Amino acid sequence: MACVSYVDAQVGKVISALDTLDPSGALADNTIVVVTGDHGWHLADHGAFWTKNTNFEEATRAPLIIRAPGMESESVAGSDCSKPIELIDVFPTLLDLAGLETPVQPNKKSLEGVSLRPLLENPAGDSWGRPAFSQFHKRIQGDGLTTGWGMGYTMRTERYRYTEWYLTDQVHRSVKTNETPEFVELYDHDIDSGESANLAYKSGYEEIVTALAFQLDGGRGWSASFEVAGPTVVDGLAIERSGENLRLKISGDPGETWAVQYSENLTSWDDLEGGDPVVLDDEGLRVLEFGNALLPRFYRASPVEVVGNGLPAPFHLFPEDMTLYVDGDFMVIESSNVPNHPSPYFLQGDDRYEAYNGSNSQYRRNPNEIGAQNWVYRIPLNPTEATNKQSTTLGSIGVAINGVAFFNQYAAGNAPLTREINSFDQYNGCLLYTSPSPRDRG
């Protein structure tokens, strides 16, 4: 208590000095004051520990108080914030509050840490999901463990502390001797703020350990620093990093529709992407990428037949720039009929023009050009065979049900269809682009 009282008195001197230097208060109102420490302190906690030499809360948690201009007007002055942050965030915060540019880092490295301005403006930090990382070396020993020097990497989220201990080289103690942790720890601060009960090996916590281990990434997770994110184990769902973002990779059957959900606590699940379905492409793959500020904690995915807006599953494969909806007994498709890829059928001055570079040695360019059109297709949801079968004005060229072509046997004027095929561009797009298809290739 004497130490706390002493420090409090010194902070008071700094604040008083600002008022003494400028009695008008303008200097104090335009000065950022930061009070912090470099670590916490054990007082025989956990039965034996002293000073700062652990990865527990008492050693890794440090005080941080920020007084910044404008906080009074934001009605947040004096507020507490429970979100985990790191001391490397202090410098970017000062740059942000002072309106200074981030200095160029040596060796083209990026500045570590982020500005805490969002938490100063909203201490509740509804969209804040960054954990705090620490590490400390210590001798590993105990029943069933290999004795030797090791490095402990720990990560603190708003609810959990997760720690992995690795054996290291006995001289160079930051160099791991293997990539498998010798021992792990998990503490749930909702029920155990003193970190006295290790839940890592307790039944029912396997998914949480999997998720946190994914993010800690063997002690490398601080370089990405996105929110706790890991998979509930589901066939077909993989999670990987993409810089500081998270990438969900879903694989299954081509055209398959999946529902993707996320959870903050593994007890309740919400639909991702507003409940819209996730449809796999014709290679049976779909990749979703998220920025690090909005990442939920856990993910799962499962295939379904029809989800979301009620469109029949095959129509989810159509490009996003087409308008699709159900109108009574009809599927309606609205399209400009302009392909979503380059083509030799665009005018040569168009940025989308690309000379033919395909593999068809018989290719011959049709003299027509691509132009935008306003087409509306009405396709029966339940097509039936017509009682009166009629040829088109160009003759009998194929088979159609209710006007929807299923097979073309001839081109116009009974000409062989090969003449049309040889005019297709390198993306297999036909010369008029009048028929929508799942891949918008013609």
What confidence score (pLDDT) does residue 175 get?
Answer: 82
Mean pLDDT for 298-311 is 57
Spatial distance between the Cα atoms of 234 and 228, rounded to a whole number of angstroms: 18
Counting residues of the chain whose pLDDT is more than 90, the rounded percentage is 17
DSSP output for 181-246: -SEEEEEETTT-TT--S--TTSTT-HHHHHHHHHHHGGGTGGGT-PPS-EE---TTEEEEEETTEE
Mean pLDDT lowest among 106-110, 216-220, 309-313: 309-313
How confident is the model over 94-117, as pLDDT tens digits?
Answer: 999 999 988 877 766 777 888 998
More confident residue, 379 or 383: 379
pLDDT at 154 over 90: yes
Spatial distance between the Cα atoms of 312 and 331, rounded to a whole number of angstroms: 9
Length of the chain counted residue by residue: 442
Q: Which amino acid is at 238?
A: A
Spatial distance between the Cα atoms of 159 and 208, rounded to a whole number of angstroms: 11
Spatial distance between the Cα atoms of 440 and 320, rounded to a whole number of angstroms: 10
**Residue reference for tokens 């066939």:** 235
Q: Name the token pair of 335.
A: 């399209």
Residue from 218, 133, 243 nearest 168 by CA:
218
Spatial distance between the Cα atoms of 353 and 347, rounded to a whole number of angstroms: 6
Residue from 164, 134, 133 nearest 150 by CA:
164
Spatial distance between the Cα atoms of 117 and 96, rounded to a whole number of angstroms: 7
What confidence score (pLDDT) does residue 314 get?
Answer: 63
| Contact status, residue 295 vs residue 288, Cβ threshold 8 Å | no
What confidence score (pLDDT) does residue 296 get?
Answer: 44
What average pLDDT is seen over the chain? Answer: 76
Domains of the chain from N-terminus onward: 2-121 (no CATH), 230-313 (2.60.40), 318-421 (no CATH)
Residue from 313, 310, 334, 340 nearest 322 by CA:
334
Dihedral of the CA atoms 24, 26, 27, 29 (nearest 10)? Answer: 120
Spatial distance between the Cα atoms of 36 and 64, rounded to a whole number of angstroms: 4
The CA-based angle 138-142-148, given to 5 degrees, is 45
Q: Name the token pair of 1.
A: 């208590």
What confidence score (pLDDT) does residue 163 get?
Answer: 95
pLDDT at 34 over 90: yes
Mean pLDDT lowest among 104-108, 171-175, 259-263, 405-409: 405-409
